[in-house]
Structures are given as structure tokens and as C-alpha cells.
Structure 1
Amino acid sequence: MNSGMLEINKKPEKDGLPAATYKQIPESDLEEEAVKRPKKTVTKEKNNLDGADEKMLPGEEKNASEKSNVNANEIKFTANEKQNGDAKLDIGDVKGQYVGMSKEELMKYANDPFWVRLRWFLFISFWILWAAMLVGAIMIIVAAPKCNPPEPRTWWEQGPLTEVKEEVTKQQLQALKDNGVQGIILSWFSFLDAYSFLNQSTDYLKVVKAANELNVSVIIDLNPLSSTKWFRDSEGKDDFYTDYYIWQKPKGVNATGSPEPPNNWISKENRSSWVYSEVRKEFYYAPQSAPHLNFRNPNVIREFTNVLVGLIDKGARGIRLHGAPYLLVDLNFADEAIIAPEGFYHTEYGFYSHTKTENLHEIGPIIKQWRDVIRNKTENGAPLILAEDLNTLEPFKVNGSLIIDLPRHSKLFNSSRKLSSSLLHNDLKSTFTLLEHNWPLWEQNNNALPSDVMYTLISLLPGVPLLHNNETLDPELLKIRSSPSVQYGTFLKYQLNNGTVFAYTRVSPGNPGYLVAINPTDRKMVVDFPKEVRTISQEITVQYISKNYNETGVTPELKIDAKMVPISPEAAGVFTYIPQKP
């Protein structure tokens, strides 16, 4: 057979018509002959009679039945005598499968300039984008807010501090240093004339010199309010000193003919704050018996600045001021408002509000001037603290910033009243609110609980304990105080065991937590800490116990079950634990 896909065998049939039979020709023969045979042009004039010669079944390597989408029932054979016995084969539409390009065909484009450029463009773009993302990631890391470690506490913030007198010896100072004291407050001349003492205080200079030799910081206790140094000149109306003090003319005369004070200001000694001068024929303000300096006069402010400079030059490393809340008085000298609480009379201090003579808001800028001098005159800065308990911080702020160090409000610890869990909890809450969570100074004078229990309580609170003469802290408490959890950690307080036990925690991320528990009652208590404080682990370690803590199985460095912790009457314990998620 010469060509085509069909082989036609003619056999006579009963009706005389020729019959066509289909015989599949091997694909190899079809491919070979398709290559050799010249292409034909099919036109409409030939009715596509030769179209069957050009139409090939799909498939290269697999069986035609597997490759073809043609149903055998759709194939039709039509005999045509005019075509020399040839037959027309109509197999309908053939749907071929998509076959991808071979490797040889793809290689034709490998070196095509367009595709070469495209490949290089995509390659370079990828690495540029990758580098840009890397740089972007680095920039985000660099520009992101840093989690800076907290600033190290200064020596006066670390504490403890203690008060000493001029009789203290060098050996005693060495003992204080060995017992962990960070600084001393030298206060023997607190109420002496601060403006003259440098010329009269050789004992003071000896203490400062000895402390400096031992590298013990000294805070000087001063009262800037009063002085008699310039009083005679002011009383005599010397041009320069005439208003160094606060002077007012009499309001009038009383029934006895004596001059009346200019207003109703009463001192804490329950007497008039005004004293009449027969020389000047005026009253001078003297709430502390001595004439009160006029700090609205810039020259007076400068006089005390000179005192501070002299102290720093002599070796002082900090200043504590007495009387700072009373530094200024009302410019209009108006009467104090009467509050008349029960039990007070009009001749007593508690009868009045004292808003005209205490905590005036102009105090802050004056204190700031002195603080700046102290800071600038010392290498690592120095504290400026106040001796009084404060009822408000507002007068000691400038532009919203507190300009004093270690504010104090020790009302809770200066009372002899019986302490309870609720009292400790509520008073500490109000104290921290009042002090606006600044780092305060704690001084305790309460004898309701043993001294070591009270010092355990205040030593691990946020702030600095102030010790009395010859008092020290237990070495273990000092060690705990130096931990990050106490120096920087959070503070949470609790009333436990039906309100009978007071406790608080100190926790800093990445460090063990500390639990301080105080039993102020006269009965033994057993506390389930994890039940009431969810962050407490099931097991805690005893770090420190007060002297009267006498419970079997509760000794330092021993791990105990946190669900059944016995606490002796009027005792304190300090425990460490692994903080748990609440």
C-alpha cells in the first residue's frame, strides 16, 4: 500500500456492492511515510476527499486506544465508486492532549538574547530584594525601642542610712561600714545656727574627715529657717539687711494697750508666731522662737547657697533640710482658716488649717536652686532630702518633676499603736499613693512588734531604711536587699489567712521572687500561699526568719511546702520562690 491510514480490501457481497474493511497500520509506518510524502493542499473544491490522508491519530509511544479520545462507535465508512473504490473515513473531532516542549526544543531558547536578559534581570532583582529585606530587618532592630536595664541605684538609694552624732568615733564608723551602712546623717547641729557653724564646729570637721578616710558618705542635717546672724542689723533697719527677716506692723492694740499681732498665725508650741520688737516697733515672724529668715529675698537665698557650698567643700556628700515645708509664708499675711476639730481651742496649733504658712507652691524653685548647687559640686551627684514627713509632694515639684530625694511619710512606723494586717495593708497603700510611688525613706519608731520584725518589714519595701544610732541590719537582709527583685522589682501587698497575716512580694523578671510575711497577731498562723497568691510556687525556700520565729521545719535555706507554712506570733519570714503565671 502506497499511503494513507487505511487498507481497503474489496470483496463481493451478496448485494453486489463492495465492502470495506479497516485494518490498523503500525504507527512506525505511518510516521515514516508521513515524512516522505509531500504535503497536500486540501481545498473545498475537492470536498476534502483527501482530508483523510492528512489526518493523523494522536499518540507517539502509547497505544492508540489509550491516547485517542475518539469513540469507536463514531467512526463511519463511506464507499465512493467515483474514487476508484476508495472510501471516506469520518472519525469526528479528535481532541489531542497537550504535550510540553522537549529538552532539545527548550535548548533552542537557552541562548536567546531576550531570555538571557530576562533571566539576569530576575536573578539580580531577587538578590536586590533579598538584600533590601535584610537591611530593612536590621533597621527595624536598630530603630526599635531598647529594653534598657534600669539605672543602677545610687549609694543613698541602695541604703541603709543611719544617723550619728558628733561623738561617733572612727572605729564606730568602720563598724557601720562593715555592717553594710551606705551613708551617715550627721545631725547633732540640726537646730544650731547653720549660717555660723562652719566657724564653730571642729568636732563636726573631725567626723567628716574620718568618714571620708573610710569612704563613708556623710549627709549633713541643716535647718535653714532661722538665724540671729543679721538680726540686729535688720532690726535697726540697715539698708541691706532690713528685709532679711519677715516684719509686719501691729494690727492694732488690745484691751491692755499691747500691740496686736498682724494675724492669727499660731506656732506648734501653741503660741503666736509673732514676736514684738521694741526697737523696730514691729512684729517679726518667729514660729520656732528664733527669727525666721525671709526667703523671698534673693540675698537670703544666696546666703544659704554659700553655706551649702562650704559644706560640700569640707567633704559633705549630701544635705538633709529641716523645716523646708515652712520656708515661705503668704505674701498677704492673711489669717489662717479655722478648721476647729474637736478637742482644740483657738489658741492651739491644731485649730487652724496652716495653708498660709506651710507647703506654699513657691518653695519648689528655691529648693531646686540648692539641689543644682549640690549636684554640680559633687562628682557623682548628692542627695537633697527633707527631714519632715510630707503630706503632699506638690510644693516640691518644678515643671512636674520632683526635686527632692527620698521623700518620707513614716506615720505608720512612728506610732505605738497595735499593728494589724489590715492596718499595714491600708497605710502602705495610702503612703505609696501619697508619695506617688517614688523611692522613699523609711524610719520606724514603732514598738508594737519586735525591732527585727519591723526592720524586716521596712528593709525589703521599695525605698531605703533609716537606722537609729548603733542599729544594724542582719547580713542576710542586706544580701536580699541587694538583689534585683528588691532594688528594681514590682511590689504587691496582700492580706492573707482571713486578714490575719500581712505579706508582700518583690519580683523582677528573670530573678527569684521574694515573699515577706508578717504575723502581727499573738497566735500562730498557718498559711496556704499558693491558694491566696497565685504566682507563688508550690514549694518555697526559707531565706530569713526573725528571732522569735520558732516553728519546726522552718529554718533558713530549707525548702518547704508553700501550702502549709506556719508563722509564729509577732514574727516575720522571708522566702524565695519561682514566680508562676497567674
Structure 2
Amino acid sequence: MPENKPIDEKTKLQSETYKPISEREMEEEAASRSKTDKSKFKEPDGADERMLSNEDSKVSVNSEIPMKDIKIVMTEKNGDAKVEEEDEKKFGGLSKEELMKFANDPFWVRLRWFLFITFWVLWAAMLFGAIMIIYAAPKCDPPPPRTWWQVGPLAEVKDSISSEKMKSLTNIKGLIISFNDDPYQSVNDSHAVIQLIKDAQEAGKKVIIDLDPSTTNMWFEESQNNNSLYADYYIWKKPKYTGDVREPPNNWKYLNNTSSWVYSPKRNQYYYAPLSAPHLNFRNPAVAEEFAGVVKKFAKLGASGVRVRNAPLLLVDPNFEEETLITNKVGINIGEPGFFVPSKTRDLPDVGSLLFNWNKVVKNVTEGGPLMIDEEISKINSYTVFKNVVVDLPLLVNVFSKPNVTAIVQKLNETFKVDNIKWPLWKENNSSLPSDVVEIVTNLLPGATLVDVNTTTDAAISKIRDSPSIMRGNCDMYSINNDTVFGFIREIAGNPGVLVLLNTANKLATVNINQDIPPLSKLEEVTIQYYSQNYNVTEYKDIGAKKGVTDIPLAPKSVLVLQYVPKKE
């Protein structure tokens, strides 16, 4: 049994008298104290400090922590308070007086000037850079206006035309005049063609001189004598022998069912002469340069362009291979020119490069005049360099003599989209349509027209042709009304569009624009702009009148020109 020790009096007194005070009691006591009149409390007189012990007083008096750096924080628990020391004094910035002490300090003055100048230098540099970027950026320049030979029309004239007649050709922009003599020979001012060029200049007309570069006798004797300078100016080939029989080098034939080769006893060789005259060898750069000199000569005499005759025959196969025979061609006898496929003597692949170089010469010496050829292109690849046709105004002949509208649309789509011919020369001599109908249609399609010298173009159609939609616009073509109506639209952004409707049939036709021409499916109205002489539908002959887009009547073999405002998508 454990020993009972006596209880200390002091311990006993503490255990008997201590009673924990609840938070509620403390809150009530604090509330009661707040209600007490403040006047009952005396100002502190320092007695509390005097009642402190010496040790406590020493801490309070001798502490290095100033009272203003002491923060008393009340805690939520039991109303306790704790004392915190602020780490450091907060910086409140310099006063105006303090700042002014540095205003005239040399260091700060220089720094301010440096920053000021640097800012404006950088600002000016950025402004200059922006200006240079705008200046150096690629420009979206408007396309250049069409040249005189692109606007047209052009007309072929004989050297017998009078100066009075020439002055009366007010609507024709350019005249094509043939020079039938040897162009390589010297020409003086008394020549009839040169006089005609001068008359044309006085009448304000441009002249395109028509030349045949393929033949000349100018250097033939020297070449026949095997002169080293001119030996290769013409096309020479040794003969073939069958036993003792001398024969031409190959089966090339052209005119009158005769060989294209002529034997020269002096040189003991055959020379190539498909046009009954010695043919120049344009694979020799010196010969090609000789014709470039001819172009420059006629430019000095007043010509503004050149048309080349017999362009398909300019080059021949350098290997002199035989032509291929055709065994199933009806109506052609063996040995006749048409019996052979002219792949070795006509439209050779590199003829385009030859014409391309001549075209550059023409452009340089005539201030942008055309280089044309007088035959319709039958093998487009031979006249293409860098995917572009190298001759200007490639000829399109009698397109509207085709049997139906589908054939017309097919031919034109092939020309514009497959062959990449953007601006052809229209020549229509054989058509079942009235001449003014053909004239209207060809004037509003892409390209220039080749007209008879006596043709007078209506001023109204010339005005329509000069519009941006015709000169620069796209061209979409359609076969309408069971292949009897040819329709096409010309349109460029920002300008009214032009719709042309041609009825090729011998009876009245009607067109519903919304249904027949898909790009105009949302069109609501059109404006009458022009019509051919034989258009006889009275209610559609009011120029400038607005009409609906359904059941538009077209008289037989007539054309109607309409204007419309394109609908924005």
C-alpha cells in the first residue's frame, strides 16, 4: 500500500482556487468593460513601469528594437496578443525636393538626352523601313493597254492602193502589205512598197510588211562554188546512186509532184528547193542573222511589224530522213505531195526557237510591233517556247463555217485553253452567216479581226469592243438551244459583263439565261446593248432597255449583245 505523503499547502491552494474561464465569459467581460465610462480610466502615470522588476525593466529600456518597429497583432483565439518585429522600413519613394537634387546632375542629363535621341532615331528607322518595304514590295500594276495591232482591225492591201483611199480607212489600225521581191537585196525609196509605207504613215496608219525569208539567190553562186564563208548558207546533200543512176538524197516532194531537190553540177550535190528556188539553211546562225538584218532594214524604212510567209517550211530534218508513206488516204495518188506525211519538211519542232529570236528583234526595232505568220498553225508545239506561242496574232480561219455550234465551241476551247492562244487574228471568208453578224461576234471574242479594206466598223460596236470586259475579260462559251445558239460571256472584275447570243439556225430561237448559262444562274435582268441588222424582234430593239433573263428571242442567223451586272457571291 503506497505511503501517504502530506500535501503541500501551496499546491493544495492552487488546485482548489484555479478555474478555467470559458471563451463566452471572456467575451461577456470584454463587452461589459466597453460600456464603462472612459472617464473612469486614468491616464497612465508610469506606475506600471515602476512596478516592473529590474530585469524586466532592463529589457524594456535597453532593447535595441525601437517601439515603432514593434507590431502588436491580436489573434482570434482566446484574445491573445503577439508581438512581431517589422523586418525593415518600407520605401515610399523620393520627394520632389529630393528628386530635384538630381535634375541637373551631368550623368542624368546625358542619360536623358541619350534615351531621347535613341527613341527618335529608332522611330525614324522604323518609318524608313516601312516605306522601303512598301516601295520594294511587288506591285499589282494594272495590265498594259492593248497595242494597236491587238485592238485592230487589220486589213491586207495591194501596192496599187491610192493615197486617197488609204486616208479614208479611218477605222483600220494597221495595213498588211506584201513585199514580193527578194527582201535580202537592197531596197531604195523609189520602190512601190516603200512609197506605200510612206503614204500610210502620212495617213496615220501602221504597216506590217509581209516577207518570205526562205529563198534568195543573193549568196547562191558563192555557196555553189563551195566558198567557205557561204558554203553552208543553203541546204546541200550528196546524191544517192542506184548502180550508175544518180538519185535525189530522199523522197522529199512539194510542188507539182516533183522532187524538192535540184542537182548542181558545179558542186556535184543536190540543193533543197521546195519552192523552185534555193532554200536557205536557217540552222546556220549566220543565215538566221541575215534575216534579222532584213527586219531592221524594213523597220528603218517605216514598217511597224513583220509577217512571215512560208513559216512552216523554214526548217527541215537535219538527218534527212525519208517521209512516211500514207497507204489509206483516199483521192491522192502515189508519189503526190499529199501521199506523204510532211513531218520532215514542215513544222519542225525547233522552228519556234527561230521565230522566237526574230520576234525579239521585231519588238526591239519597231517599238513593240508584231511578228506574225501568214498560215494557220496546224502543229502548235512547233510554235511554242516556254509554254507560250512565239508568234503574235496566230491566224484562225473560217471558224464560223463549222457545221454546228458544238464544233465551234470545241474549236475555240481548243484554241484558247489547250493551245494557249490568247489573242488570235480572225479571218472569216467562208461563212453562211451575214457578214455583219460575223464581224460583231469576232470583234467581241478575244483577238483582232482581219477585214476587207472596204469594211466600215460601226462606232457602237467599236465602243463596246474598247470596254475592259472585252479587252481584258475572261471568255466562257456555251452551246445552247439544241446546238443552234452560240453564247459567250466576257467579264472582268469591277466592270459590267457582256453576253453575246448568236442564233445560227434558220428559225427563231429562245434563250433562258439562268438555265442555259450556269455562271449567270442568279442574274435578274440584262440591258440591250447592240444587235445585228437582221435582228427583227421589235421589243428587243430598244438600246439601253432593261429586260428579263427568260425567253429571250433570237431572230434567225442574227446576234444580240446584252450587258449585265455580275452578281457577287
TM-score for both structures, normalised by structure 2: 0.75
Q: Within 5 Å, which residues of 2 pair with 1:352-391?
A: 352-378=340-366, 380-391=367-378
Aligned-partner SS, 1:275: strand
| Aligned match for 1:215, one of 201, 204, 209 | 204
In the alignment, what sits opposite 2:153?
Answer: 160
Once the two structures are TM-superposed, the CA of residue 300 in structure 1 deviates from its matched residue by: 3.4
Pair 1:546–1:288, CA change in 2 (3 A): same
Deviation at 1:392, TM superposition (A): 3.3
Alpha-carbon offset, residue 552 of structure 1: 2.0
Counterparts of residues 496-507 of structure 1 (less than 5 Å)? 496-507=480-491
CA-CA distance at 1:217 after TM superposition? 0.5
1:392 aligns with 2:385: no
Equivalence for 1:543: 529
Tell me, in whole angstroms, the C-alpha distance in 2 between the residues paired with 1:21 and 1:489: 96
**Equivalence for 2:407:** 423
Equivalence map 1:309-458=2 (5 Å): 309-343=296-330, 344-378=332-366, 380-398=367-385, 402-410=389-397, 412-413=399-400, 416-418=401-403, 420-458=404-442
C-alpha distance after superposition, 1:452-511 (max 9, x if no partner) = 111222111111111123223222221111111111111111223344321111112111
Q: What's the offset of the Cα at 1:295?
A: 2.3
Q: Structure 2 CA distance, aligned partners of 1:564 and 1:22?
A: 105
Deviation of 1:39 (Å) = 13
Q: Are residues 1:147 and 2:133 paired?
A: no
Q: 1-side partners of 2:187 and 2:446: how far apart?
A: 36
Structure 1 Cα separation of the partners of residues 48 and 232 of structure 2: 128
CA contact (8 A) 1:301 1:366 kept: yes
Separation in structure 1 between the aligned mates of residue 484 and residue 526 of structure 2, nearest angstrom: 20
Q: Where does residue 206 of structure 1 map in the other structure? A: 195
Letter in 2 for 1:195: Y
- Is 2:549 the partner of 1:553? no
Within the candidate set 529, 541, 555, 1:568 is matched to 555
Secondary structure at 1:534 match in 2: helix
Amino acid at match of 1:321: V
- The equivalent residue for 2:514 is 530
Q: Does 1:171 align with 2:156?
A: no
Tell me the number of residue pairs that the alignment of Structure 1 and Structure 2 aligns. 502
Quote how far apart the aligned CAs of 1:424 are.
1.4
Tell me the equivalent position of 1:578: 565
Aligned to 2:495: 511
Shift of 1:253: 5.1
Taking the aligned partners of 1:195 and 1:448, their CA distance within structure 2 comes to 42
Shift of 1:520: 0.9
Is the contact between residue 391 and residue 409 of structure 1 (CA under 8 Å) also seen in structure 2? no
Conservation of the 8 A alpha-carbon contact between 1:164 and 1:184: yes
The answer as to whether partners of 2:189 and 2:195 remain within 8 angstroms in 1 is no
Q: 1:475 and 1:316 mapped to 2: Cα distance?
A: 28
Assess, with a 3 A threshold, how the Cα gap between structure 1 residues 197 and 564 changes in structure 2: closer, same or farther.
farther
Q: CA separation of 1:446/1:533 partners in 2, compared to 1, >3 Å: closer, same or farther?
A: farther
Q: Deviations over 1:280-330 (max 9, x none)?
A: 554332222233222234443344333323212211111100011211111
> Deviation of residue 515 (structure 1)?
1.0
Q: Would you say the 8 A contact 2:398–2:431 is kept in 1?
A: no
2:257 is aligned with 1:264: no
Residue type at the aligned position of 1:316:
A
Q: CA deviation at 1:367?
A: 2.9
Q: Give 3-state SS (helix, strand or coil) of 2:538's partner.
A: coil
Q: Write the distance in 2 (CA, Å) between the matches of 1:37 and 1:161.
A: 125
C-alpha spacing 1:455/1:112, structure 2 compared with 1 (3 Å) = farther
Change in CA separation of 1:21 and 1:451 when aligned onto 2, cut-off 3 Å: closer
Deviation at 1:335, TM superposition (A): 0.2
Unaligned 5+ runs, structure 2: 1-27, 50-55, 57-70, 82-90
Q: Which of 295, 307, 310 is residue 294 of structure 2 equivalent to? A: 307
Letter of the 2:425 partner, please give it: L
- State the shift of 1:333 in Å: 1.1
Give secondary structure in 2 for the equivalent of 1:186: strand
State the distance in 2 between where 1:411 and 1:356 align.
Answer: 28
Measured at CA, do residues 207 and 55 of structure 1 come closer, stay the same or move farther in structure 2, by a change above 3 Å?
same
SS of residue paired to 1:452: helix
In structure 1, what is the Cα distance between the partners aligned to 2:513 and 2:45?
99
Once residues 242 and 493 of structure 2 are traced to their aligned partners in structure 1, the CA distance between those partners, rounded to angstroms, is 69
1:78-136 per-residue CA deviation (whole Å, 9 max, x = no partner) reads xxxxxxxxxxxx599xxxxxxxxxxxx999878986xx99xx9xx99999999998777
> Distance between the aligned counterparts of 1:228 and 1:398, measured in 2?
31
Q: Contact 1:284 / 1:291 at 8 angstroms: preserved in 2?
A: yes
Q: Is the 8 A contact 2:248 2:270 kept in 1?
A: yes
- Residue deviations 1:400-459, cap 9 Å, x none? 55442222343625xx443x2211111101112353143222211232211111122211
1:85 equivalent in structure 2: none
Relative distance call for 1:110 and 1:444 in structure 2 (3 A) is farther
User: Residue 254 of structure 2 contacts residue 274 of structure 2 at CA under 8 Å; is this kept in 1?
Assistant: yes
Q: What CA distance in whole angstroms lies between the structure 2 residues aligned with 1:253 and 1:283? A: 16
- Matched letter for residue 155 of structure 1: W
- Give the secondary-structure state (helix, strand or coil) at the position aligned to 1:492: strand
Q: Which residue of 2 aligns with 1:98?
A: none
SS at match of 1:553: helix
Q: Give 1:248's aligned amino acid.
A: K
SS of residue in 2 equivalent to 1:304: helix
Could you tell me whether the CA contact under 8 Å between 1:161 and 1:183 is conserved in 2? Answer: yes
Provide closer, same or farther for how the CA distance between residues 38 and 442 of structure 1 changes in structure 2, counting only shifts above 3 A: farther
Distance in 2 separating the partners of 1:109 and 1:269 = 115
Judge conservation of contact 1:341–1:351 (CA < 8 Å) in 2: no
Alignment TM-score, normalising by the size of structure 1 = 0.73
- In the alignment, residue 407 of structure 1 is paired with which amino acid? P
Q: Using the alignment, how far apart are the partners of 1:486 and 1:367 within structure 2?
A: 29
- Conservation of the 8 A alpha-carbon contact between 1:341 and 1:350: no
Query: Partners in 2 of 1:133 and 1:206 — Cα distance?
Result: 63
Mapped pair 1:461 → 2:445: yes
Equivalent-residue separation in structure 2 for 1:222 and 1:340 (angstroms) = 36
CA distance in 2, matches of 1:329, 1:483: 44
Rounded Cα–Cα distance in structure 1 between residues aligned with 2:199 and 2:413: 41
Q: For 1:406 and 1:578, how far apart are their aligned partners in 2?
A: 30
**Structure 2 CA distance for aligned equivalents of residues 412 and 37 of structure 1:** 126
Change (3 A) 1:528 1:133: farther
In the TM superposition, residue 545 of structure 1 has moved relative to its aligned partner by 0.6
In 1, Cα distance between equivalents of 2:77 and 2:35? 16
Return the offset for 1:210: 0.6
Q: Quick one: percent identity of the two aligned structures?
A: 39
- Separation in structure 1 between the aligned mates of residue 120 and residue 289 of structure 2, nearest angstrom: 69
Amino acid at match of 1:327: L
Tell me if the contact between 2:225 and 2:266 (Cα under 8 Å) persists in the aligned partners: yes
Q: CA RMSD in A?
A: 4.4
Indicate how the Cα distance of structure 1 residues 543 and 20 shifts in structure 2: closer, same or farther if over 3 A, else same: closer
- 1:183 and 2:168 correspond: no
Counterpart for residue 96 of structure 1: none
Cα displacement (A) at 1:547: 1.0
Using a 3 Å threshold, how does the CA distance of structure 1 residues 146 and 300 change in structure 2: closer, same or farther?
Answer: closer
Query: How far did 1:377 drift?
Result: 2.5
| Cα drift, residue 376 of structure 1 | 3.0
Match of 2:276 among 273, 286, 289: 289
- Which letter does structure 1 place at the counterpart of 2:200? A
Aligned partner letter, 1:161: L
Pair 517,34 (structure 1): closer, same or farther in 2 beyond 3 Å: farther
Match in the other structure for 1:487? 471
